């Protein structure tokens, strides 16, 4: 049985003040069977690390450099994140791919670096609307996965999480239906199974893209949906807690 993960990607949002109130809202939540993860922007990691100390909330970062250290102005290394108790790192998010030009090869090299520093990559994959309309959904997801498999090997997926985030569903209010998500998640698992059946059964596959409390229970009932990667709705403690409760 795969444990569900409910992760909040705060993206480039928040202030010192708003984060205190968001985290204190989340800390009112009773323990959950799911792993609850929050991903603040870099400047707030230290603050959030102190606030969540001794709670069951788990920290994620939104990006890392593929380089280990040195003259890379503006970059943040995997080892620095280890200093703040960060467990997960989002990699390959569509905003990084489309706005910042992260190619499959760059994403794969970041995954490799994250694994070397014992961070758990949350590898984000997913198709654009155009790609879905031209029946390229699986081809795109498989290409994005294959780039990582080729560099780090299928066995590394036991130490990773996959997040299926169709680009057309991100920030649009137009979530994939539970059935659409299930269809792709099942295909992703089947694709991984071609390289290793046992790894494919273990890897948690999250859905992301306009997840809300009202739509999350249907998603979580799907056999291959192992949780959610939530953007906008994770900035509201009550809404995020309702999603966590829906996960059981
Ligand atoms: O990109 C996302 C999470 O990484 C999803 O964002 P929204 O939930 O705001 O659509």
Looking at the DSSP bridge assignments, the partners of residue 207 are: 164, 228
Site to substitute for ligand 1 among 99, 230, 234, 239, most atoms within 8 A of C-beta:
230
- Can you point out the beta strands (E) in 115-243? 120-125, 161-164, 204-208, 227-230
Alpha-carbon span 119 to 168, nearest angstrom: 28
* Tokens found for residue 152: 């780090």
Predicted-assembly ipTM surpassing the 0.90 threshold: yes
Residue 169 CA, closest ligand 1 atom number: 10
Architecture of domain 5-247: Alpha-Beta Barrel (3.20)
Alpha-carbon span 194 to 62, nearest angstrom: 30
Question: 125-175: per-residue pLDDT in tens?
Answer: 999 999 999 999 999 999 999 999 999 999 999 999 999 999 999 999 999
Angle at 119 between CA 34 and CA 11, to 5 degrees: 70
Q: Is the CB of 208 under 6 A from ligand 1?
A: yes
Site to substitute for ligand 1 among 171, 176, 206, 228, most atoms within 8 A of C-beta:
171
Q: Is the CB of 231 under 6 A from ligand 1?
A: yes
Instruction: Determine the average pLDDT of the residues in 218-223.
Output: 98
Q: Which residues of 231-242 are buried (b: 16+ CB within 10 A; e: fewer)?
A: bbbbbbbebbbb
pTM confidence score: 0.97
- The values of phi and psi at residue 35, to 5°, are -85, 125
Task: Count CA atoms within 13 Å of residue 14 on its CB side.
Answer: 27
Question: 31-54: per-residue pLDDT in tens?
Answer: 899 999 999 999 999 999 999 988
CB 208 within 8 A of CB 231: yes
Per-residue model confidence (pLDDT) at position 33: 93
Max CA-CA distance within the chain? Answer: 48
* Residue 74 predicted with pLDDT over 90: yes
Per-residue model confidence (pLDDT) at position 192: 98
């Amino acid at each position: 049985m795969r444990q569900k993960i409910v992760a909040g990607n705060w993206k480039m949002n928040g202030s010192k003040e708003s984060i205190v109130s968001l985290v204190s809202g989340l800390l009112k939540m009773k323990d959950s069977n799911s792993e609850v993860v929050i991903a603040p922007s870099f400047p707030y990691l230290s603050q959030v690390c102190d606030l969540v100390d001794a709670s069951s909330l788990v920290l994620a970062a939104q990006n890392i450099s593929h380089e280990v250290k040195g003259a890379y102005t503006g970059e943040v290394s995997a080892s620095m994140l280890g200093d703040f108790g960060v467990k997960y790192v989002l990699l390959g998010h569509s905003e990084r791919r489309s706005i910042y030009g992260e190619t499959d090869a760059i994403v794969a090299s970041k995954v490799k670096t994250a694994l070397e520093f014992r961070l758990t990559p949350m590898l984000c994959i997913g198709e654009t609307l155009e790609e879905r309309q031209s029946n390229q959904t699986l081809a795109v997801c498989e290409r994005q996965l294959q780039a990582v498999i080729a560099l780090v090997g299928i066995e590394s997926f036991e130490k990773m999480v996959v997040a299926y985030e169709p680009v057309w569903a991100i920030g649009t209010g137009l979530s994939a239906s539970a059935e659409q998500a299930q269809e792709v998640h099942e295909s992703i698992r089947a694709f991984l199974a071609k390289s290793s059946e046992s790894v494919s059964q273990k890897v948690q596959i999250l859905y992301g893209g306009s997840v809300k409390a009202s739509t999350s229970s249907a998603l979580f009932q799907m056999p291959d949906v192992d949780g959610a990667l939530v953007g906008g709705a994770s900035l509201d403690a009550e809404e995020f807690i309702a999603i966590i409760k829906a996960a059981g």
